Amino acid sequence: MKPIVIAKNLTKSYTKGIRALDNVSLTVNQGKVLVVMGPSGSGKSTLIRTFNGLETFDQGEIDILGIKLDCNHNERKIQRIRKRVGMVFQQFNLFPHLSILENITLAPVNVQKRHRSEAEEYGMYLLGQMGIDSHAKKYPSQLSGGEQQRVAIARALALKPELLLFDEPTSALDPERINEVLDAMRRLAKQGMTMIVVTHEIGFAKDVSDQVLFMDSGKVIETSTPDLFFSNAKHDRSRKFLNQLDKN
């Protein structure tokens, strides 16, 4: 089992002493899926954004794919990590002035210096995998939310990443569109992709994840297997949260 992400004692505080991350440690092994859950403001997004350098932290260290990050934000190391780690955002964040295919080939061509024709071929293959290759020439605003999010996943995959980060990928979608994105993520998990997913989708977490991490106020409340967590959560706080989710 090769560990892909090892985080040790991550702590980040904002001014006024509010802690976004409070002594968070976790390990994700190759080919595994970690689901991060918790109420809003619990620090889940902050946590996964530290893994590709979008957020800094004050204490602790992270080892991602053998590259060690500490609280001194080392740009060069972060750049190396970003070339090997893909990220999918809640609001898709596609580039509105570029066509779907250009969105996907931008990084391979300019960051990895691959040939345009090769990058386009691989981009079309990825769009085919996501079932949206017929939209390649269109622009993001011409697509539905679910389609845009699948483009965003294809864009993250275009760099052939070894780890994928998902920051609430289905929270901005219509209920009817959620499954097309979750199905794409399920297929990725089956293909052995290592993923860290912040989500409230219990069904997805039960089916796909190998490990569930529950956070509140920047602290890790509990870490367990999905079976245990959803049937028999140890902590009151987790049970309360799950009850709330069930009611909705």
Partner 1 sequence: MFNINSIMIFIQKLRNIFFSNILNTIFSLVIILLISLAFLNTFEWIIFDANWKVVTSNLPLYAFGSFPSNEQWRPATWIISLLLLSIITLFGPEWKWLRQNLLLTWISTIPLGLYLLYGGFGLSPIMSRHWGGLTLTILLTTCSSLFSLPFGIILALCRQSSLPLIRKLSSIYIDVMRAIPLIAVLFFGQLLIPLFLPVGIEIDRVWRSILAFTLFVSAYIAEDIRGGLQAIPNTQIEAANSLGLNQYQIIQFILIPQALRIALPALTNQSIGLFQNTSLMAILGLVELLGVGRSILANPEFIGQYIEVYVWLACVYWLVCTIMAVLGRHLEHRMTMNQANF
Q: How far is the CB of 152 from partner 1 (least distance, A)?
A: 8
CA–CA dist 125, 113 (Å, integer): 19
Q: Tell which positions 4-63 bind partner 1, by CB under 8 A.
A: 52-54
CA–CA dist 145, 232 (Å, integer): 35
Lookup: tokens for 111? 């960051």
Output 87 or 189, the one with its CB closest to partner 1.
Answer: 87
Q: How far is the CB of 82 from partner 1 (least distance, A)?
A: 4
For residue 215, the cross-strand partners are 220
Q: Which residues contact 225 (CB under 8 A, 6 or more apart)?
A: 210, 211, 212
Output 4 or 212, the one with its CB closest to partner 1.
Answer: 4
Show the CA angle centred on residue 161, arms to residues 226 and 146, nearest 5°.
Answer: 65
Lookup: tokens for 112? 């990895």
Which has the closest alpha carbon to 4: 56, 52, 57?
A: 52
Stretch in the footprint of partner 1 (CB under 8 A) among 59-67, 118-126, 155-163, 208-216:
155-163
CA–CA dist 176, 240 (Å, integer): 27
Q: How far is the CB of 101 from partner 1 (least distance, A)?
A: 13
Q: Tell which positions 86-125 bind partner 1, by CB under 8 A.
A: 86-87, 89, 91, 93-97, 99, 106-107, 110-111
Output 53 or 226, the one with its CB closest to partner 1.
Answer: 53
Q: Is 183 helix (H, G, I), strand (E, B) or coil?
A: helix
Among 24, 127, 132, 159, interactor with partner 1 by CB under 8 A:
159
CB 62 within 8 A of CB 119: no
Output 56 or 79, the one with its CB closest to partner 1.
Answer: 79
CB 140 within 8 A of CB 149: no
Q: How far is the CB of 56 from partner 1 (least distance, A)?
A: 13
CA–CA dist 31, 4 (Å, integer): 9
Output 51 or 204, the one with its CB closest to partner 1.
Answer: 51
Q: Is 94 helix (H, G, I), strand (E, B) or coil?
A: coil
Q: In the stretch 161-200, what mask flags binding to partner 1 with x, by CB under 8 A?
A: ----------------------------------------
Classify residue 34 by its DSSP letter.
E
135 is an interface residue for partner 1 by CB under 8 A: no
Among 19, 67, 77, 139, interactor with partner 1 by CB under 8 A:
139
Q: How far is the CB of 54 from partner 1 (least distance, A)?
A: 6
Contact residues for partner 1 (CB under 8 A)? 52-54, 79, 82-83, 85-87, 89, 91, 93-97, 99, 106-107, 110-111, 138-142, 155-156, 159
